Amino acid sequence: MARSINHNAHTGALPDFRNLGILLRILLISNGIAMLAAMLQVSAVRDWPNQFTGNAVLVEPFLLLSLLVLALLNDVLHRMTYAAGIALVMLVELVLAGAMYLGARGLLWETQPDLLRLMTVVALTTGMLLIYFDLRGRALSPAIAEARLQALQARIRPHFLFNSMNAVLSLVRQEPRRAETALEDLAGLFRALMADNRELAPLAQEVELCRQYLALEQLRLGERLQVEWHVDKMPSDALIPPLALQPLLENAVYHGIEPSEMPGVVSINIYAVRDRLHAVLRNPYRADGNHHAGNKMALSNIRERLLLHFDVAAELTARVGDNVYEVRISMPYVKAPKS
């Protein structure tokens, strides 16, 4: 897939039949249609579930077989033109439906359904799904997805910017060297924010960014902000969506540390388990800490960016425990190509 910006109109494309999200969508939609069909077949609503499970005996093997064949043909399909691809998918489905029909005849049906009608239903369902995936592809097509990624780029709170500037100014006269470091950190942070953040970035680089950010906050908040890093098991070659972690830390400081006069700990834990990468961030939580309201923005922003990069394979959850607020991200462990 082209990684560069694509301003051309989206030309139709078949979905990736090996993507878990796509397979799940096909299963859900097809079963939805089967349920509706079952509703029309029965005379009383209470027979509906039975009818559906009755049909499922045929529908489910057919669906799974279809998915298997399409997954096997995936590479072939993607080498063809869109029109030829559609034709092949249709053909596969109709042949499978015909084969199942002949195989199941006499075995399962009491009253024989009409082959032509069955074929029509299969063809229409397949066509509908293909149109759906084409529309979805357009919605997520690189040009649009990248534009959305740009718009979603995390923004630093002005509150943080101006307070940090003020803190740096306070150092200029007495401790010029610390002021220099702080300005460098600030520059690094803004460089990252203004960069082209559409492609996955090295995890190590993101962690460095977080360290720069926390150093600036510590300058301002002093003892009140304590940081615990647990990154010994962090895979150094992993790639993650850029700015997926820093806004979460900014939230942690803004909601967990600033509203309290007591010192608090922000902890960051990053590790990989087999092919998944996990990041867990914790900060103190006070039930009465209504000092600042609303932190849903950063969370939904990052959630959406994870979705654009990984579809359903990534997950962000937030929960409140014993006076602790915890955000967990789990995503596929993507390794950087070796240079």
- Got the DSSP string for 126-165? HHHHHHHHHHHHHHT-HHHHHHHHHHH-----HHHHHHHH
Give the shortest CB-220-to-other proteins separation in angstroms: 5
**Shorter beta-carbon distance to other proteins: residue 49 or 222:** 222
Cβ-based nearer residue to other proteins, 126 or 295: 295
User: Phi-psi bin for 11: left (phi > 0), alpha (psi -120 to 50), beta?
Assistant: beta
Q: Closest CB to other proteins among 181 and 260?
A: 260
Three-state secondary-structure class, residue 45: helix
CA nearest to 4, candidates 198, 238, 243: 198
Name the residue nearer to other proteins (CB basis): 173 or 177: 173
The residue with tokens 């307070």 is 163
Which CB, 78 or 157, lies closer to other proteins?
157
Q: Residue 255 has what DSSP assignment?
A: I
Report the interhelical angle of 203-221 vs 176-194 (nearest 10°).
140
Nearest approach, Cβ of residue 285 and other proteins (Å): 14
How many other CB atoms sit within 10 Å of the CB of residue 180? 13
Q: Which two tokens stand for residue 307?
A: 């979705």
Q: Compute the distance between CA of residue 290 and CA of residue 219 in angstroms, rounded to an integer.
A: 24
- What does the alpha-carbon distance between residue 7 and residue 64 come to, in Å, rounded to a whole number? 37
Residue 271 has phi, psi (to 5 degrees) of -155, 165
Identity at 184, one-letter amino acid code: E
Check if the beta carbon of residue 126 is closer than 8 Å to that of residue 93: yes
Smallest distance from other proteins to CB 155, Å: 13
How does DSSP classify residue 118? H
Smallest gap from residue 182 Cβ to other proteins (A): 10
Q: For residues 23 and 266, which CB has a smaller minimum distance to other proteins in the complex? A: 266
Supply the minimum distance, in Å, between the C-beta of residue 47 and other proteins: 47
Nearer to other proteins, 159 or 296 (CB): 159
Cβ nearer to other proteins, comparing 138 with 224: 224
Q: How far is the CB of 294 from other proteins (least distance, A)?
A: 13
Residues near other proteins (CB under 8 A) are 157-159, 161-163, 165-167, 169-171, 173-174, 219-222, 258-261, 290-291
Rounded to a whole number of angstroms, the minimum distance from the CB of residue 286 to other proteins is 10
Q: How far is the CB of 253 from other proteins (least distance, A)?
A: 12
Q: Please list, in sequence order, all residues whose beta carbon lies within 8 angstroms of the beta carbon of residue 22, skipping any fewer than 6 positions away.
A: 15, 16, 133
